[in-house]
A and B are shown apart, each in its own frame.
Chain A
Amino acid sequence: MKNVEEALPEKVNLKIWLKIGKYALRYWPIILLTIFAMLVTSWYDSALVPTLNASVIESTSAFATLPLEGNVIDVPLRLTFIEGILEFSIPFWGFLLLEVTAILLRSVAVFTNFYFSNILSMRIMTDLRRDCFKKVQQLSFSYFDRVNSGWLIARMNNDTASLGDTLSQQILQIFWSIFDILFTLVSMFSRSWIFALIVLASTPFVMVLVPLLQKLLLVRWRKARNAYSYFVGWLAEVINGSKTIRTLAIEEEVSQEAEGIISDVEQKRFKASRVNAYLTPSLQLLSGITTAIVVLSGIFMIQGGGDEETIIALSATIVLFISFVGNIYNPLQSFSELASEIMASQAGAEKVGQLLDEVPEVQDRDEIVERFGTSLAPKEEEYSPLNGTIDFKEVSFHYANGIEVIHPLSLHIEAGTSLAIVGETGSGKTTLVNLLCRFYEPTGGDILLDGVSYRDRSLHWLHSNIGYVQQSPFAFKGTYFENIAYGKEDATLKEVREAAKIVGIDDEIMSLKDGYNTYLEEGGGSLSQGQKQLLSFARALVRNPSILILDEATSSIDTETEALVQNALLKLLKGRTSISIAHRLSTIVHCDRILVMQEGSIIEEGNHKQLMQKKGYYYQLYMNQFRDLDIGEQVKTYESQIEGEKY
């Protein structure tokens, strides 16, 4: 049950980074600007600051030996950028001015760097999200059979965000580290090549030690995170199963199990964070020893005695090199951190790439796209109206596994018929509707609408002629108006209200303070299932569709609201082709035609009365259902259907 750990990829997948990298390269001006800003920042930190510090040490040391005259402001200070090549004297005021200007310049550079690399990250993230979202809108149903929505959400939320960061901040950060290293190298070698070599000699340790520990760190943190998410899962179980735990009085057992999980998390976390306790002190030690060696060789050089100037210069050099050690270790360290972070996000890049490359299984042919457009850019002026005559011609269907779930089946549905399909779970009734909606395409035979194969029209044409109400009624986050008008692009308030009136919720909505502008929270919030279902009826109705499909539309409604919905339904079905799949048979007794399906074939057909009299499979289904009803529902159903009908 524990999550399978995702190991770090061993190899860089260049192909995928090139593909995803294009999302960053579009913004090349931003990238260039940011890199330039990094150059400035790095110059200040790794080149200017050491030079200024050295200058101050040298000049002030000299004060003691050379008594000076005049105003302090005019005291000359020596600046050495590159020894012998770029060095000059400036007065103290010039020094201060340079310092202030450089600080301001650096701040502007830091702002530019921070701001634009973040903007870049955001742009990449939103671009990726947009493309993923678009792709998801186009994918076929077979895709959603294979992939659950949790996976998609993780791609669209987490991976896009982390890729945005990787491609902007982390990859750009590499430039920063390179600049830091370059400037430090130049400063070091221009100051003293002996000391520079000493410092460089210590860097292989950093380059070996840090990546090793870094990898260990990453792997161990993954383990710790997995253990932790297992704990969160267990916590959720305990919260959701609180009643069961109490009634079985197993609190002790539950706590014991939690204890095991918690100590597992503890140990793994400890192990993970302990790695840092080795990393930091090791680096401290290494830099301490390097510094000591620098000092040692420095003192060795002047041991035989030296002139004042050499000694002063040397003391400045030593101070400088103490900071150079840090300046060279830090970028090296962040190099390896960045490398492992980028590797860690490679899996995400691959998955996002996979999603973006996905090809929808059900697609219009090129010439159809040419003529009618795509669902994202439809040419609606080409659409012809649909009457609603449906023909299934020897339609059969099997999923990828090859097992046929619809056996060759022919069916003619006259426009205006209300048709119901019943049968047990797995009998093929939902598949039949999925085929009609072209969520899947038949693997054999064809479906004709008004006599024309539906593959000769576009998907969007078909869908714009369908009204669809699904099993679990859906309320979008938004106002009542938006929820109903979802069915029709340019619906007016009048049209929306008319639809609401027909299904009988207009009065209720109008009685609210904000009427149709009342906001519904996610999932409909305070609405009952019945109200939500009526809302989705209104949504389907406002489209005035040629074909109405009710996919188990009444199964989640209690008997209280059933009467209400029943009334709305009758109005909804009037005068148009409708296909209802019903689990609860009480709601389809009024349909013109009922098909009874079993194992992918139609085994009985007729209206409710005929089928009940036949006492066949339908009769059996009906009776079984009746028994499962609550007492109150039994009385009601019996009175309305059995006593009322007197079959």
Chain B
Amino acid sequence: MKRLFLTCKKLTEGRHLAYLLQLFIQIVQVFFSTFSIFLTKVLIDAIQGMTELEKADAFESFVIFLITGGRGNEFLMENRITVLPVALVISTLITALLSFARMSLRSYAIAYMNGAMQRTLFTHLTAVDYPFYKTHDGGDLIQTCTRDVDVLRRFMIGDVSNFNYSFWTLLFVSAILFNMSYELALACLGLLPVMLLYSFFLMKKVRRLYRATDDSEGRMTERINENLASVRLVRAYGSEKKECENFERYLDDYAEKFTKWRRWSSFFFASGDIFAFGSNALALGVGVYLAYLGKVNASTIVVSFLFVNMIVWPLRQCATSLSNMGQYLASSDRLRVILDAQEEDRESGITDEIRGDITFEHVSFHYENDEKNALNDVSFHIPAGSTVAIMGKTGSGKSTLSLLLTRLYEPTSGQILLDDKPLSSYQKKHLRKEIVPVLQDPFLFSKTIEENILLARKEASREELYQAARTASIDDTIRSLKEGYATPVGEKGMSLSGGQKQRVAMARTLITDAHVYIFDDSLSAVDTETDRKIRANLRKKKGDSTIFIITHRVATAQDADLILVLEDGKLTEMGTHEELLEKPGLYQRIAEIQRRMA
């Protein structure tokens, strides 16, 4: 319970006041509703005449005092043709105004609390440590950010409001009822606790059945998706009949679960109504009896059953809400996973100018849930401004280097020095502006090509944009598209080939003023000629930057100042092209193969 409260509080940061205020107005509104219903009693008494008005209790007298401006029963009797309608209109006006105020405020609170929730989650998602994304499924995260937020929103807006409404209504109504006649009050309210318990337990069962139905529908949806995904297979195998028969089973299962759920939920509503209308009938019956004994009059009975109607439905809703607590708690726990996730410290650390002199000292690394070292005791030194080629088989640890250099991960042991200072002493934000990788499987956002390239430097000029694209040898390709640089790409846009994507990503990286670039297999999808051209451009434009090129082409690697060969996380060979050709090993072998195959 406390967790739920804290989660809600945290999610709606900054919008607490509006929320609490609308709850408060609701209380005032409940008070006025009770008041205007009570007015009916005065109304009936006034119509029936002085004798009935004389019977007024303290509260009724107070109300009469209010609507006559303190002039009392006689005045009311004489002027009832004006006083009563005016009182009615005024009280309606107040109720309507309060409704308007509360509903406006509530709309405001709903909309902006939602915004606050989205903002909070979003901020957390952009701020969490990168490894968080490796351990949490993206689809689940999206589900949590949408569905669970929705569930909590419904709780905060619907259920809490209803609790608030029911509580205060019950309080005011009981006070008035007991003041009029405790016997009648008991008759009106006696069944309610039973109804609450009954509804609570029955609803639990209904909800279980609902979940089963929902699961069944989920399975059916999955089946439909699966069928659509395997449409080729289904046609080629001529298994249309089999698929239909199989689908029938899902339909049957759903129908069975649904029927069972609806049987119970209809029973829930129908039998719950017995309590609601039963309370009403009880109020009438006992009312007649008490009137017979002369203890109450007609107006009291009318007010009492109006009050019963006012309280019985929201109270039943409370039972439903209470039985749904489990779901709220579960949603809140899932949201906590995001809210409590370790945030990355991107702000602290030194922001010294970076030249790009890099030293690895006995660096080892393994992923959290992986026994094997992805990098194993790797040491090397690269002076600023040099080009380094890294070669190795898949899984040899090449890509891990860029993860460590950008500090998405920290080495498990050993250390990395940048310009003779530990890499870990730099401010991450600064570091990542200076050390920029082109990822092996680049992600393009659902924006235009231009927006994608300008992601990291919005202020860049047109010329810089084209320059970056030219350096990445993608300018011509982009211009050949119908919409040119304004072509939308990404999930919702045009799909580019792997090589095109990589070069757009490369342009996106090259437009920054970094001092260290890492090209993670970025040149593999282009032909040798373009590859050579890109590298020449790079040398020209980014002469003083340190450049890492991860590649499997000897031709790409051979011009580098230093070539590193990684095998199973270990650095097995290191040197220039000429040096490595002399030594028997993977480099020599691959150079030989590529020479013969060329």
Contacts and interface: CB of A to CB of B under 8 A. Distances in A.
A-B pairs with lowest CB-CB distance, top 6: A288-B92, A463-B238, A632-B393, A468-B236, A277-B103, A111-B270
B287 A470 contact: no
A285 B458 CA distance: 54
Contacts of B80: 299
A635 B455 CA distance: 39
Given A56-B284, A250-B455, A628-B525, A292 B89 contact: yes
Contact of A288 (B95, B263, B391, B443): B95
Q: Could you say which of A53, A249, A291 has the most chain B C-beta atoms within 10 Å of its C-beta?
A: A249
Interface in A212-252: 231-233, 235-251
A623 interface: yes
Interface in A288-308: 288-289, 291-293, 295-296, 298-300, 302-303
B230 interface: yes
Contacts of A52: 284
Nearest to A298: B47
Contacts of A144: 231
A129 B217 CA distance: 12
Contact of B287 (A56, A236, A262): A56
9 contacts: A53-B302, A96-B281, A242-B133, A243-B133, A270-B107, A273-B106, A302-B47, A319-B44, A439-B235
Interface in A30-89: 52-53, 56-61, 63-64, 68, 72, 75, 77
Q: Could you say which of A247, A255, A630 has the most chain B C-beta atoms within 10 Å of its C-beta?
A: A247
A235 B436 contact: no
A377 B145 contact: no
Interface stretch (B58-66, B112-120, B411-419, B576-584): B112-120
Interface stretch (B161-169, B192-200, B247-255): B247-255
A400 interface: no
Contacts of B244: 130, 133-134, 137, 376
B435 to A, nearest CB: 9
Nearest to B132: A242
A248 B508 contact: yes
A103 B100 contact: no
B259 interface: yes
A273 B243 contact: no
Interface stretch (B220-228, B313-321, B375-383): B220-228
A108 interface: yes
B270 A59 contact: no
Interface residues of B, number: 152
Given A1-B492, A118-B262, A254-B126, A627 B297 contact: no
Contacts of B182: none
A476 interface: yes
Contact of B44 (A119, A237, A318): A318
Contact of B221 (A157, A235, A243): A157
B5 interface: no
Interface in B51-91: 51-52, 80-81, 84-86, 88-89, 91
A489 B408 CA distance: 52
A153 B107 contact: no
A107 B271 contact: yes
Nearest to A57: B298
Q: Could you say which of B115, B146, B273, B287 has the most chain A C-beta atoms within 10 Å of its C-beta?
A: B115
A566 interface: no
A100 B225 CA distance: 51
A354 interface: no
Nearest to A303: B81
Nearest to B80: A299
A114 interface: yes
Interface string B284-312: 11011101111011110110010000000
Contact of A61 (B289, B298, B394): B298
B104 interface: yes
A247 B285 contact: no
A468 B231 CA distance: 12
A152 B221 CA distance: 11
A290 to B, nearest CB: 10
A463 B236 contact: yes
A487 B233 CA distance: 10
A131 to B, nearest CB: 10
A243 B439 contact: yes
A137 B92 contact: no
A1 B107 contact: no
Given A107-B274, A296-B85, A284 B96 contact: yes
B439 A235 contact: no
Nearest to A255: B126
Given A265-B114, A267-B111, A638-B593, A477 B273 contact: no
A280 interface: yes
B238 A375 contact: yes
A242 B596 CA distance: 42
Contacts of B491: 237
A486 B237 contact: yes
A278 B103 CA distance: 8
Given A118-B266, A122-B259, A149-B228, A270 B92 contact: no
B525 A130 contact: no
Given A63-B292, A233-B492, A247 B432 contact: yes
A103 B254 contact: no
B119 A72 contact: no
Interface of A: 1, 52-53, 56-61, 63-64, 68, 72, 75, 77, 92, 95-96, 99-100, 103-104, 106-108, 110-111, 114-115, 118-119, 122-123, 126, 129-130, 133-134, 136-138, 141, 144, 149, 152-153, 156-157, 231-233, 235-251, 253-255, 258-259, 262-263, 265-267, 269-270, 273-274, 276-278, 280-282, 284-285, 287-289, 291-293, 295-296, 298-300, 302-303, 311-312, 314-316, 318-319, 322, 375-378, 437, 439, 459-460, 462-464, 466, 468, 470, 474, 476-477, 486-487, 489, 522, 543, 549, 551, 558, 623, 626-635, 638, 642
Contacts of A107: 270-271, 273-274
Contacts of A285: 92-93, 96
A332 B428 CA distance: 63
B541 interface: no
Given A253-B455, A474-B230, A281 B146 contact: no
A476 B243 CA distance: 12
Interface in B514-558: 524-525, 528, 552-553
B408 A60 contact: no
A248 B301 contact: no
A316 B40 CA distance: 11
Interface string B18-55: 00000000000000000000001001100111011000
A630 B553 CA distance: 9
A56 B88 contact: no
Interface in B199-240: 220-240
B397 to A, nearest CB: 13
Contact of B285 (A96, A251, A255): A96
Contacts of A280: 99, 103
Nearest to B309: A323
A490 to B, nearest CB: 11
B251 A130 contact: yes
A459 to B, nearest CB: 7
Nearest to B157: A273
Interface in B357-405: 391-394, 402
B456 A249 contact: yes
B277 interface: yes
Contact of B458 (A130, A253, A276, A629): A253
A61 B456 CA distance: 82
